[in-house]
Amino acid sequence: MVRNHPGSVSPLIKSNNLLNNALAMQQAARCGGFEGVMRNYRGELAECTQSNLFIVKSGAALTPPIDAGLLPGITREFLFEIGAEAAIPVREAVLKDTDLLGADEAFLTSSTREVVPIVQVDDRRIGAGVPGPITRRLLQGFRRQAHTLTQAQNAELRS
């Protein structure tokens, strides 16, 4: 699925213009998929229909840059901090289909899903076909930080 041209409504604006996302999700579901990966008009990977995309290559977690035409999610942004704390490089990079299919690991992020490993795209296995060590470490770090922040907020509310 191809995203709108950058001259259309910016993906940085959360709006009710989610037709491309809905169509991509329907296409993914028809193919038996859990999510749909979306490209921008240049053919670069941008985001998933309901989440942000990361691949892992040589120990670094890579995600498309904002100018690829994606909505920068809260969890996506949080993972830059989590990666720094875990000594895992997390950075933006222009990604193509071959990067995803040749990745050591891949995962998606969203506020409602946290960090979800991607082990297969269509009929192609990603990496070893199981959640990889970098993805697992980032998920553990995310959950640990989310728990810490939640506990701090709860304590603040009780006082």
Within a domain: 12: no
Is residue 11 a part of any domain in this protein? Answer: no
The catalytic residue among 5, 7, 14, 87 is: 14
Supply angle C-alpha 60, 62, 65, rounded to 5. 150
Q: Is residue 151 helix, strand or coil?
A: helix
The answer to whether the beta carbons of residues 57 and 99 sit under 8 Å apart is yes
Q: Which residues pair with 55 in a beta bridge?
A: 62, 106
Is residue 113 a part of any domain in this protein? Answer: yes
Report the alpha-carbon distance of residue 155 to residue 159 in Å, rounded: 6
96-133 per-position pLDDT tens digit: 999 999 999 999 999 999 999 999 998 899 999 999 99
| Residue 13, domain member (yes or no) | no
Condensed to tens digits (0 to 9), the pLDDT of residues 9-57 reads 555 555 556 666 666 666 756 766 678 888 898 999 999 888 999 999 9
Can you say whether the dihedral through the CA atoms of 110, 98, 64, 137 is positive or negative? positive
Which residue, 11, 17, 56, 51, is CA-closest to 34?
51
Q: What is the pTM of this model?
A: 0.84
Give domain status of residue 3, yes or no: no
- Give me the CATH number covering residue 100: 3.20.10.10
Q: Is 57 a catalytic residue?
A: no
